[in-house]
Chain A
Amino acid sequence: MFELLGVPPQALFGQLLLGLINGSFYAMLSLGLAVIFGLLNVINFAHGALYMMGAFVAWMLLHFLGIGYWPALIIAPLIVGAFGILLERLFLRHLYHLDHLYGLLLTFGLVLIIEGVFRHQYGSSGLPYDNPIPGGQNLGFMYLPYYRAWVVVASLTVCFGTWFVIERTRLGAYLRAATENPQLVQAFGINVPRMIMLTYGFGVALAALAGVLAAPAYQVSPLMGSNLIIVVFAVVVIGGMGSILGSIITGFGLGVIEGFTKVFYPEASNTVVFVIMAIVLMLKPAGLFGQTR
């Protein structure tokens, strides 16, 4: 068996694929954060908790109603997205005129509530979720489990679909305009508050979709969100929130780098994203794709 850089290719490509999967979750979550921040001026700390809810709703659909993975892929994001819209109407709406910090603090409080309820109900250990497409293909240089390939393809599709809608359609044009100047867009007769509400729901649904995709790949656990969201924050700092494509590229790129670190220096795999963040802050404080604001 030949080796690459002193590492068997099976291990190298296996970790690379895991990195891509992590990267696809980073990309989907940071995309949602960026869209929400653009319109609502709120950094949604609860994004990780809502991702976790997505995974749990899929698990509940399976266990209580016998609804399988494929329908859950649609139903769970709809349920969690509706929950997000409720949060926006009840709480977030009252904070738009205030400093950004209050939005962060409020959503942090929501994290504690959501996580606390799930931890009380299900403990901190994970629940298994059956893999809907078991098996895989040996490609010679690596073994490719079908489910992992599906996650990467699905999230790439969703990410670029989102990019297309925002950058290339009329709806996206309204959204971009409202991000720049909500008063003016409202003056043209577009219902901006409803748009804000739906945007939040969409960002939340995106997080929940990532959660459903994650459920078979990892275990479903109440802690899965808060561990992820802090890394996603670092991803957002590295990429900057100005560009949609930037968020996608940064998310996938950092996932891959993390995967490589796991092969060559496993001790640093948890911290490599934060180290990269520190380096980027030193060299290009506005982020790789950000504008200075």
Chain B
Amino acid sequence: MKKYLFVALLLALALLAPFQIYPVFLMQALCFALFACAFNLLIGYVGLLSFGHAAYFGSAAYITAYVLKAWHWPTLVGLLAGTAVAALMGLVFGALAIRRQGIYFAMITLALSQMVYFFALQAKFTGGEDGIQAVPRHPLIGQLAIDSDFVLYYVVLAIFLFGLFVIYRTIHSPFGQVLKAIRENEPRAISLGYEVDRYKLVAFVLSATLAGLAGSTKVLVVQLASLTDVQWQMSGEVVLMTLVGGLGTVLGPVAGAFIVTTMQYYLSQFAWIGEWVLVIQGVIFVIVVLLFRRGIVGELAGWWQRRSVRPAAAE
């Protein structure tokens, strides 16, 4: 019961937020939250650390921006096109990366995403250093105009909730249980007869697809796709968000994304900050890895559990 109340409270907060807070900021945070949730599906539930998720996020952003601006495709088709490309890339890269485990998996995904970065740097349609700017916001479906930030916020919120729902359903399905079994003990999952590689690949494609959806949605919000979206720093940022929030928790990446985005937003107001943003992010990385590896939501959940267990034990 308490759980439903908590979710309803969060939903109400999300619906009312744009009345108080700048909608573009909220939308950016939501896009990163979806991105982090997609990343967390792999690291948190299958135990695969992908260090190249910017590839899917950024490629989807470029594709969506290009078809909306150059070909004047309808917005919805543009979103789907970007997401589909990310899914396809996830299929190819995922099939390659799952051939190795552990630390190699991280290095392979990072290398492949760097390849995508160089492609984006050299290809004609991406606009090189400038990126694709001033991407138009065509009406979404029929006459639903999204040039107002306020209207667009609810569209982005709907997309985010859809993504979160997909992830929630996935990890609470029998499929998700198998994923967790692979995370805990892969040889055992194999010996139980599961085709581990196929499960990993499906999870990888799903994660890449949702990361792509986040990237495409981001283009609608900031009307820009640029090299920042495919750089390795972006992959690092999504790792940071998930780590701060809590690996393997449903809401952790969301909390982490909001914390990191808020931090960047406030820090960027100071003129002296410059490259210190990197340093601050690095310090957070080190602190979280050394001191609280479960992340904020993970630690809170642990505290809540201990608190509710103790009175029960006393009875």
Contact = CB atoms under 8 A, between A and B. Distances in A.
A106 B236 CA distance: 12
A119 B273 CA distance: 12
B274 A233 contact: no
A97 interface: no
A42 to B, nearest CB: 9
Most buried by A among B49, B97, B99, B104: B104
A271 B107 contact: no
A68 interface: no
Nearest to B49: A101
A105 B243 contact: yes
Interface string B102-131: 111011101110110011011000000000
Interface stretch (B9-17, B152-160, B214-222, B275-283): B275-283
A143 interface: no
Contacts of B122: 267, 270
A164 interface: no
B111 A112 contact: no
Contacts of B276: 116, 120
Interface in A228-279: 230-231, 233-234, 236-237, 267, 270-271, 273-275, 277-278
Contacts of A95: 289-290
Nearest to B52: A230
B141 interface: no
Contact of A277 (B111, B232, B279): B111
Contacts of A101: 43, 49, 102-103, 106
B239 A108 contact: yes
A157 B145 CA distance: 67
B117 to A, nearest CB: 9
B38 to A, nearest CB: 18
B220 to A, nearest CB: 29
Contacts of B274: 120
Interface SS majority for chain B: helix
A217 B194 CA distance: 52
A92 B49 CA distance: 19
Contacts of B199: none
Interface of A: 37, 43, 91, 94-95, 98, 100-102, 104-106, 108-117, 119-120, 226, 230-231, 233-234, 236-237, 267, 270-271, 273-275, 277-278, 281-282, 285-286, 293
Q: What are the nearest 10 A-B pairs in CB distance?
A: A109-B285, A112-B282, A116-B278, A113-B282, A116-B279, A274-B115, A233-B107, A234-B111, A285-B99, A120-B275
Interface of B: 43, 49, 51, 96-97, 99-104, 106-108, 110-112, 114-115, 118-119, 121-122, 232, 236, 239, 243, 274-279, 281-286, 289-290, 293
28 contacts: A37-B103, A43-B103, A43-B106, A43-B107, A101-B49, A101-B102, A102-B289, A104-B49, A105-B239, A106-B289, A113-B279, A113-B283, A115-B278, A116-B277, A119-B278, A120-B274, A120-B279, A230-B111, A233-B111, A234-B108, A236-B107, A237-B111, A274-B111, A277-B112, A281-B97, A281-B108, A282-B96, A285-B99
